[in-house]
Amino acid sequence: MPTMHDSDAFAMPDVRSPQTRSAPARVLIADDQADVLEALRLLLKTEGYHLETASSPAGILAALEAREFDVVLMDLNYARDTTSGQEGLDLLMRIQTLDQTLPVVVMTAWGSVEVAVEAMRRGARDFIQKPWDNARLLAIVGTQAELSQALRRGQRLEAENWLLRGEGRPNLIAESPAMQGVLQVIARVGPSDANVLIMGENGTGKTLVAQALHSVSPRATRPMVTINAGGVSEGVFESELFGHVRGAFTDAKADRVGRFELAHEGTLFLDEIANVPLNQQAKLLRVLETGEFERLGSSKTRRVDVRILSATNADVTEELSAGRFRQDLLFRLNTIEVRIPPLRERREDIPLLAQHFLRQHAQRYRKRLTGFESSAMQLLLEHSWPGNVRELDHAVERSVLMAQAGLVKASDLGLRQAREAVGRLEDMSLEDVECFLIKKAMTRYDGNVSQAAKALGLSRSALYRRLQRYGL
């Protein structure tokens, strides 16, 4: 990311009128004196800027959280009878934590060189002493607005080029007939703003499909924010999704932005959506319907523009019938549904996937391996793969670590041992037995975490922790 040195703040290139830019720059003006605000507003309005005003540090921060600006022009003193500029200097540091690339031009009526130098040290791009010279003020604001817009255009162009080169797109290996429907959904629905519900067993690649949908959408240059919605405890659910303000609860020592705000103008991926507690589903439904929410502990309503992708390994119809999932929430999530087949239904992809993972792990562990012996590949093709593509990835990684050189052997994969495990439980460690039983339960219940957890006598969160521990 380009950076600007202190000396650049004083550079004065030719400044084009704001009307000649691709879009008028947005400028935030901040001062505690109404007459100063009005004078600045009238002066800058003649140059075609989009203007907003604030009269306090809190107002500045609220405006910056609500929308994006190209320049902030702000006074350094707000408390009555203060001249040190300390309040503004502290505010400058907070602005830097929100957006390090945002140009801030500071103003002070008591403009000592020391205060100006300190402001520049803390990130200000330039300073203006009151009473100001109109021509100098317009030149400084114009320069910083143009540089800011050029920087953001460069960042967007860099991201677009990154995507065009393929670096931003997930490597979705899918040549089997069973996967063609998934690829068609990605191609047809990805470029839209439609909400998509992705269904499939654990390890089938739901996150990868979500990334592919995002990467071909108009939002691809904006973030895709992911959250395991079912893995968030009820106590922090609202804080994680919607954020909180300082003092909202005991440990809330500072304001926090939630996932919805982080995903503004991008994509929010809600993984394991069927596991969201029923009493939290209404709160999620409201923001999906209106785009509006409040941070925990705040009465201020915020708006976001977010595309929703969600995923589940549960039988949604069963969850609805059991009263564990709201039908109106499902209607908001599943404008389009896509089911990812388990690996046992797309065995044609196993050699391609195995070779892909082999290249990855061989490079990572610096081992010279070129492929699989025929017996090893036959074992891969015959295995039931209850953990799907994720299990295949881990099996290949193990084989890379165990293989001596050249080709991976069947014994390197460690799959036959799992097949024969029932007959030798007495020789297995406690962890091996637990892993084996979890695999069997997940296979028996077709990847349904809730049912498998119930059969094993575990809570869903406890089973999730074990699935993660064993790479399942």
Are residues 63 and 101 both part of a single domain? Answer: yes
Domain with residue 220: its CATH number is: 3.40.50.300
Domain range holding 70? 6-159
Distances (CA, A) of 45 to 24, 38, 196: 11, 10, 43
- Could you read off the pLDDT of 89-125 as tens digits, one per residue? 888 888 877 677 789 998 877 656 677 778 888 888 8
- Could you read off the pLDDT of 212-243 as tens digits, one per residue? 999 989 899 888 999 988 777 777 888 888 88
Are residues 96 and 235 both part of a single domain? Answer: no
- Judge contact between 303 and 291, C-beta under 8 A: yes
Taking the whole predicted model, whether its pTM rises above 0.85 is answered as: no
Looking at the structure of the chain, the number of domains it has is 4
Q: How far apart are CA 238 and CA 7, in angstroms?
A: 44
Are residues 33 and 140 both part of a single domain? Answer: yes
Q: How far apart are CA 91 and CA 105, in angstroms?
A: 12
Domain with residue 388: its CATH number is: 1.10.8.60
Average pLDDT, the chain: 82
Q: Is the pLDDT of residue 352 over 80?
A: yes
Q: Is the pLDDT of residue 333 over 90?
A: yes
| Residue 168 belongs to a domain | no
Are residues 291 and 245 both part of a single domain? Answer: yes
List the 50-54 sheet strands across, edge first.
Answer: 50-54, 26-30, 71-75, 104-108, 126-129
In this prediction, residue 137 carries a pLDDT of 93
Residue 432 backbone class (left: φ over 0; alpha: ψ -120 to 50; beta: rest)? alpha
DSSP H helical segments within 55-133, as ranges?
Answer: 57-66, 86-98, 113-121
| Residue 165 belongs to a domain | no
Query: Which of 341, 358, 393 delimits the end of a domain?
Result: 341
- Judge contact between 314 and 322, C-beta under 8 A: no
| Residue 302 belongs to a domain | yes
Q: Is the C-alpha dihedral spanning 375, 378, 383, 387 positive or negative?
A: positive
DSSP 109: T
Q: Is the pLDDT of residue 157 over 70?
A: no
Are residues 33 and 113 both part of a single domain? Answer: yes
In this prediction, residue 156 carries a pLDDT of 56
| Residue 367 belongs to a domain | yes
> Among candidates 229, 332, 224, which has minimal Cα distance to 272?
229
Q: How far apart are CA 25 and CA 147, in angstroms?
A: 11
Are residues 368 and 335 both part of a single domain? Answer: no
Are residues 384 and 445 both part of a single domain? Answer: no
**Radius of gyration, alpha carbons of the chain:** 28
- Judge contact between 72 and 95, C-beta under 8 A: yes
Are residues 121 and 185 both part of a single domain? Answer: no
Query: Which of 159, 186, 221 delimits the end of a domain?
Result: 159
